[in-house]
Amino acid sequence: MTRTTVRVAMNGVTGRMGHRQHLVRSLLALREQGGLDLGDGTVLWPEPVLVGRREAALRALADRYGLEHWSTELAEVLADPTIEVYFDAQVTSAREEALRAAIAAGKHVYTEKPTATTLAGALDLARRARAAGVRHGVVQDKLFLPGLRKLKRLVDGGFFGRVLSVRGEFGYWVFEGDWQPAQRPSWNYRAQDGGGIVVDMFPHWEYVLHELFGRVRTVQALTATHVPQRWDERGKPYDATAEDAAYGIFELEGGVVAQINSSWAVRVHRDELVEFQVDGTEGSAVAGLRGCRFQHRAATPKPVWNPDLPSPHVFREQWQEVPDNEGTPGAEGTAGPVNGFKAQWELFLRHVYADAPYRWDLLAGARGVQLAELGLRSAAEGRRLVVPEVTL
């Protein structure tokens, strides 16, 4: 075996997602398993180079995980010829400029979403990456969740017959920050800083709907700022200028209707923080983060509406669980599902260094930006909008 070191500039790892999911549970997890075996006698050994604005936080992370290299100077890092991959998990408002600089420096780029604040900016990044000949990928982690993998298995197996509708519920109560600390950073609730649940979540819903059921053709959205005042990390009150809830209706290719509610002002009465129910002519299923339950038409009960008598049905007991038959594709080993962020990192690295196929690129990321942009416009104008096909 030949071990090849791959130096990866990781920008934004002092944030929750960049730190926990991408640094610790992805690249450091790859190191813990001995690297990524490409199957041709080569093992990739990722070497993170931490990048950010806060020197003390970067130093603390490097010391905590025994990493040698970190920097607050992005330009210097991008000028280093030994760094081949650039990863971005910064705040949304800073991402586009940094990605543009990384592409210009000839780095392969892998990034969180949204890739830019506008569709024009997202498409510009995709064009630049194509012209530069660099490999590029966008995190689309929900596709790798065990629950959605099971749901896709039902779709691919024809279980649903003709799919009729998709209903999604996502969210939880994010504390205001006055009497209990908020679970999300304050910038998420300031539009001027790139915050808002539409920009955050509609890119997710685009790729989930696109990959499982078909391209989104129309969008109609209603947004709300249910909690108008919050308290920041220093305990100071501020006005929430971004929406904290969005209620979307999406028409898909083939006539499938999807309704997805997204809210940071809802208390959870579900099995998981996100659930999707899919109804088809032959059966239905409900998928969450890890589990997926299904009900075939032959096993569908026949309830009758009668408000005067208690229902004899215990509806949740009438569904079956989809078994854990496989690990996550792209992951090392087959002992069951692994972290979806890590699985996608493996696929991207194989794409860069073993020419493996990979379709979740900057153009796919642009579709998510487009849906968020049109969702906000739909809410502002109070009407349904057509979603044009995105091309370069």
Write out residues in the chain with pLDDT < 50, as ranges: 328-336
Number of structural domains in the chain = 2
Flag whether 390 is in a domain: no
- Asked if 285 and 297 sit in the same domain, the reply is yes
Flag whether 378 is in a domain: no
What is the per-residue pLDDT for 335? 43
The domain that holds 21 is classified in CATH as 3.40.50.720
- Nearest to 215, CA basis, from 260, 153, 151, 258: 258
**Polymer length of the chain:** 392
- Nearest to 278, CA basis, from 299, 296, 301: 296
Read off the pTM.
0.94
- Asked if 245 and 189 sit in the same domain, the reply is yes
- Asked if 300 and 264 sit in the same domain, the reply is yes
- Asked if 203 and 160 sit in the same domain, the reply is yes
Q: Which residues contact 77 (CB under 8 A, 6 or more apart)?
A: 9, 49, 51, 71, 83
What are 287's strand-pairing partners? 276, 292
Flag whether 368 is in a domain: no
- Asked if 161 and 241 sit in the same domain, the reply is yes
Q: What is the pLDDT of residues 112-128, one digit of tens each?
A: 999 999 999 999 999 99
Cis bond upstream, residue 48 (ω within 30): no
What is the per-residue pLDDT for 347? 97
Flag whether 69 is in a domain: yes
286, 309, 330: which is the final residue of a domain? Answer: 330
- Asked if 81 and 194 sit in the same domain, the reply is no
What is the per-residue pLDDT for 17? 92
Flag whether 383 is in a domain: no
- Asked if 350 and 315 sit in the same domain, the reply is no
Q: Which residue, chain included where needed, has tokens 């100071």? A: 236
* 303: its two tokens: 């309830």
Spatial distance between the Cα atoms of 390 and 363, rounded to a whole number of angstroms: 8
What is the per-residue pLDDT for 330? 46
Range of the domain at 279: 143-330
Q: How many CB atoms lie within 10 A of CB 236?
A: 10
Query: 40 by DSSP, 3-state: which?
Result: coil
- CA atoms within a 13 Å half-sphere pointing along the CA-CB vector of 229: 5
What is the per-residue pLDDT for 337? 53
- For residues 222 and 379, is the Cβ–Cβ distance under 8 A? yes
- Asked if 33 and 109 sit in the same domain, the reply is yes
What is the per-residue pLDDT for 164? 98
- Whole-number Cα distances in Å, 115 to 20, 137, 138, 362: 20, 10, 8, 8
- Asked if 131 and 274 sit in the same domain, the reply is no
Flag whether 337 is in a domain: yes
- CA atoms within a 13 Å half-sphere pointing along the CA-CB vector of 235: 2
Q: What is the pLDDT of residues 357-386, one digit of tens each?
A: 999 999 999 999 999 999 999 999 999 999
Flag whether 391 is in a domain: no
- Asked if 77 and 161 sit in the same domain, the reply is no
307, 330, 353: which is the final residue of a domain? Answer: 330
